[in-house]
Every structure is written in C-alpha cells, then in structure tokens.
Amino acid sequence: MKHRMFATVLVALIITLSTGLGQAQERTDQGYYTLRDERDRVITMTGRELDPGDHYIAGDNRLFEVTGIEGDTVTVRYLETIELPAITADFHGAQVSKSDETSGVVGIYHTHNAESYVPSSGTESKDDGRGDILKVGQALAAGMEDMGLTVYWSDNSHIPHDGQAYMRSRRTATELLQKKPDTLLDLHRDATPPEIYETEIEGVPTTKVRLVVGRQNQNREANLEYAKRIKAVADDMYPGLVEGIFDARGNYNQDLGPKMILMEFGAHTTSLEQAEQAAEYFAKVIPAAAGLTTSTQGAAESQIGGGANRALVWMIVVVAVVVVGFLLVSQGKIGSLTAFFRREAGLGRDNDHEDDHK
Amino acid sequence: MPTGTALLLIVAALIYFGVGQRLLDRMRLTDTQALIAIALMIGGSFITVPLRTGRTSVGLNLGGGLVPLALVVYLLIKADTAKERIRSIVAAIITGGIVYGVSQITDFDPSSPALFIDPLWLFSIVAGIVGYVSGRSRRASFIAGVLGLFAVDLVHLIQAVASNMATRVVLGGAGVFDATILAGLIAVALAEFVGETRERLAGGGEEL
C-alpha cells in the first residue's frame, strides 16, 4: 500500500513537473512566433505554439513543415505547392439547396467566447463572457440565413479561458450536433501583429481568416479536405481572404464529426468591424465549400467524402493493429486470436468473465 | 449526409460504443449490464436537467453525468476492501488535481502555448496512469477518470457560482462523448494494456 501511494505521488509529481516545463516556455509578453523558411524569408506569424512535424499551408498554397523552433523563430521547410480542389462552379448568386443529402443547417459556437478586439473594445478579453467574437459569429449567422440556410448560433459561455474550455465547449458542440448540422464552426481570433491579418478586398478593409484542423482525431483527413475546399472557394470568390491552414496538434473537438472546423477571424490587434466584414464574405464561402448550394453538392461530396473514405481505412487498420497487438501481448500466441474472435462473435463459450477483473 | 462522411461517423461510433461496452464488461459488470450501461449513456445524452438558471447556469446531463456517476458508486460499493475504495478515491482526487493544475497552466488554444497533446486525450491518459498506479486495477482507473474529471467540473462550478461568473456548467453535458466518460473508458483501456503487458513481461500468470 505504502509503495503504491508513493508511486502514485511520484507519477503525479512527474506529470506536474513536465507541465511546469511547458509553462517555462510559455509566453507572457503577448509574443508571437515568426515562421521563416530555409532562406530566412518570413512565411507568416502566429501566437500558436508549434511543434516539429506540424504542417502549414500558406495563402499561396505552399506547404511547409515545421523543422525547428528557436526563440521566437520557427523554421519551416518547403515541401511542395499543393493543388487545391478544382473549382468550376460560379458561386456568385448560388442558391442554397436542401436535399436528402444536406439539411441546410449550420452550427456556430465559440469555445473562447470572451475573445475581443483591442482596437474596437480596448480589451482583448471581456470578463462578462460577451466578447466581440460573438458579434463575428452573429454576422456570419445572419449572412448565411440570408442565403437561405438554417443557422444555430450558440452564445454559450465557456469561461474562464483555461485548459478546460474545450471540454466545456464540447458540450455545446454536441448540443448543436443534435440539430444535425451539415457543418459546425468554432470561431476564434488569433494573437499576432495586425499586418498578418489586415487586408483589403475590392478596396474594403477586412481581416483574413486562418483555418485550423486538429490532427489528433479520426476525422482529420475529411476536415483537412474541407479546409482545402473552403480555401479553394475563398480564393476564387475573395482572393486573399484566407491566410492559411494549420494542420496541427490537438483535436479541438473535431473528433465529434467531419466538416467541423476552427477559424481564426483576425487577431486581437485587428478591429471587430474588419472581422465582421470577413464574416460577411465567409457567409458566401461556407455554403459553397460545404456543398450546400445546388452547383457545389457533387464536388463537395466527392472531395470531402474522399477524405472520409481514407480516414475510414486508416481507422479500421489502426483498430485491427491495436486489437491484434493487445491480444498478442496479453495471450502471447496467434492461436488465441481465433478463440478471441469466436468468443466475441458469440460462437464459443463466454469465459472472459472468469478472471474477474481487478 | 454524403456516404463517405456518414460511414465515417457510423463506423467511429460503432467502434467507440463496442469498445466501451467491452471495457465496462471488464469490470464488475456482466455482458448484458455493460450493454445496458452504454445504452443508458447514449439515451441519457439527450436529456439535460437544468439545476440552476441565471448568470451562472448549471445542468446535469443524464447520459454523460448521472449514469457514469452511478457506475462509480456501484463500483465503490462492490469494492472488496475499504483499502480499495480509499485507493480509488485518492486516485480520483490526484487525477482531478493534476487535470485542474494543467488546465490552469495552459489553455490549449490554437493561438497560445499548448502541451504536446489535446487536453481531451491528456486528461484521459493522466486518469489511466494515476488509476493504474494507485490500485493497479481497471476499476480504480475508471473511477479516477470519471470522478477525477467530475471533481474538476465541481471546482469550476463552485468558482463560477462563488464569483457569479457568466458561464455555463453542464456536468457530463456532452453525453456519451463527454470528457468524463472518455477519461473513464480510456483509463480502463490503458490499465488493461499496461497491466497485460506487465503480466506478460513478468512471465505470464502472475497476478499483479
């Protein structure tokens, strides 16, 4: 007993210590990282902590891989210039279609509902939980309703902005999923200098938008294809609107389903008005990207569905490897695998309760 | 919904529920009881009982909160010894403490420093390790996961009510997909895997 308690406390200490080391690397200066390629050219900036192996698709579709981090500089390696899905349909004035395949429903929520824009509100975060980001969500919802979609926008509060915020917003996400949305969007803002996000589209000041796909879940392939489609549509309709796509660590509750995406509308250093403008543009981009308009349904289905199919194959392979690996470890011989599957299929005597089961 | 994405959802759910049922089955539940527990969690996911309204709203989801808590109580009652009960509860407190501590250090936000892994998986792994080390048992791991994360929610609830925070606390609110249940199940899976590996390395049948 004493040994076990000692071991428990030891593990607790190690885990706490290792997270403490993480804390030592944490920025307290409102700092940000600059991504530079092999020739020291600036690719982008982000408040996000990156790891070697993370991928970034830049605005011009160049795909980079993070190779190292030193101080404020993240070095990236150019891999290739990717092809976004071909866009053939004319999106302008496209009509939303409701069919057997699509419900025409969109869900919007905000994990960090207190996030705000300093130039507009004088603060980067509002303690009452009614952050500026909610107004960006409202603008996006209103724009999509004008397109004929049914939008469920949640202003559920998940404050404080701590490590459990995603655990709390998961509850909002599952509530929204009960409305059977075709796509579910988690709207945030980034924390970088303004020049990364500020732009003009047809002379109108707006912020760019960055898409974030979490790779630690089974829907990553489908969601990455969705992100690429969003960028392809936006590049066609409003060139320069999408700053890039992060394909990075994390999950961001995207394990709950395909066509779930996290979007950064500007940074705390850009204005709310610019972010609302971007939301207005995105209200036209999302329906086309998600295949909710008549002319886009087939293309969206084949592309995002293709990612989903690849994910399916991966998932089945991983499950098979885990099951076989576990059985080999626990029983040590191939012969026991047949016995296991016979038992699971109800063909043999159910004797797996005998070794009950500390 | 397009076929590809629908299939992806269905297969993922089937694997999750199937594995979940097998994991519950590895504790003090029969095959049928485990199946009923999973069915109650799924069905209960659609029902959230509001407990408090106002600036700080509080609710309890039946599938994600009440059912796993009932399971924890059942496992504690059925424990062989008082020592086992204490170990499980201590494991839950330590898990809750670590999860709370970690979540104060980082917000896991895409735009801010994060650890190497998503909190959802991290919290489950913490519960699995602590549960296994404290009791070397699947039951202790399940209790550490469910009760540990529940405790973290309770701390948030107390803080929110005490400071009249404009927020929403729905215990187990994501139903069968709530972090509470995921942590419990992943913790059992880890305990099972680590336990079996150790037993194998120790030369087979030795009970650890």
CB A154 within 8 A of CB A145: no
Amino acid type, B150: F
- Which domain range does residue A37 map to? 29-83
With vertex at residue B180, the alpha carbon angle to CA B152 and CA A164, rounded to the nearest 5 degrees, is: 45
Q: Based on the domain organization, do A140 and A230 belong to the same domain?
A: yes
Put simply, the answer to whether A330 touches B87 (Cβ < 8 Å) is no
Nearest residue in chain A measured CA to CA from B64: A171
**Which pTM does this prediction carry?**
0.83
User: A189 and A109, same structural domain?
Assistant: yes
Domain presence at residue A134: yes
For chain B, list residues with pLDDT below 70. 1-2, 109-116, 203-208
Quick check: is A21 in a domain? Answer: no
Indicate whether A152 and A63 sit together in one domain: no
Pair (A159, A79) in one structural domain: no
Kindly indicate the confidence band of residue A120, based on its pLDDT and cuts at 50, 70 and 90: very high
A76 and A114 belong to one structural domain: no
Distances (CA, A) of A270 to A114, A208, A263, A273, B48: 16, 10, 15, 9, 38
* Residue A2 in domain: no
Whether A60 maps to a domain, the answer reads yes
* Interface test with chain A among B108, B136, B137, B185, by most A beta carbons within 10 Å: B108
Contact B112 A130 (CB under 8 A): no
Residue ranges covered by each domain of chain B: 3-201
Task: For chains A and B, count residue pairs whose Cβ atoms are closer than 8 Å.
Answer: 256
Of the residues A282, A308, A334, the one at which a domain ends: A308
Rounded to an integer, what distance in angstroms lies between the CA atom of residue A101 and that of residue A98?
A: 8
* pLDDT greater than 70 at residue A15: no
Residues 67-106 of B with CB under 8 A from A: 83, 87, 90-91, 94, 97-99, 101-106
A251 contacts in B (CB within 8 Å)?
A: 118, 120-121
Tell me whether B45 touches chain A (CB under 8 Å).
Answer: yes
Inter-chain CB proximity B136 and A307 less than 8 Å: no
- A256-265 residue pLDDT tens: 989 999 999 9
> In terms of domains, do A215 and A125 share one?
yes
- pLDDT given for residue A25 in this prediction: 27
Specify the amino acid at residue A306: G
Q: What's the rounded mean pLDDT across residues A291-318?
A: 84
Is any Cβ of chain A less than 8 angstroms from the Cβ of B43?
Answer: no
Look at residue A17 and tell me whether its pLDDT is greater than 60.
Answer: no
A32 or A199: whose pLDDT is higher? A199
Q: Report the share of chain A in percent with pLDDT over 90.
A: 53
The pLDDT, as a whole number, for residue A90 is: 62
Cα nearest neighbour of B114 on chain A = A49
Query: Residue B118's pLDDT is what?
Result: 77
User: Would you call B109 and A161 a contact, using CB atoms and an 8 Å cutoff?
Assistant: yes
- Residue A100 confidence class, pLDDT cut points 50, 70, 90: low
Contact (CB<8Å) A174/B110: no
Question: A243-254 pLDDT, tens per residue?
Answer: 999 998 788 999
pLDDT tens-digit readout, A33-89: 899 999 999 999 887 777 788 899 999 999 999 998 888 899 999 999 999 988 776
Indicate the number of domains in chain A.
2
Residue A161 lies inside a defined structural domain of this protein: yes
A106, A171, A211, A313: best mutation site toward chain B, by most B Cβ within 10 Å?
A: A171
Instruction: With CB atoms and an 8 Å threshold, state whether B114 touches A301.
Output: no
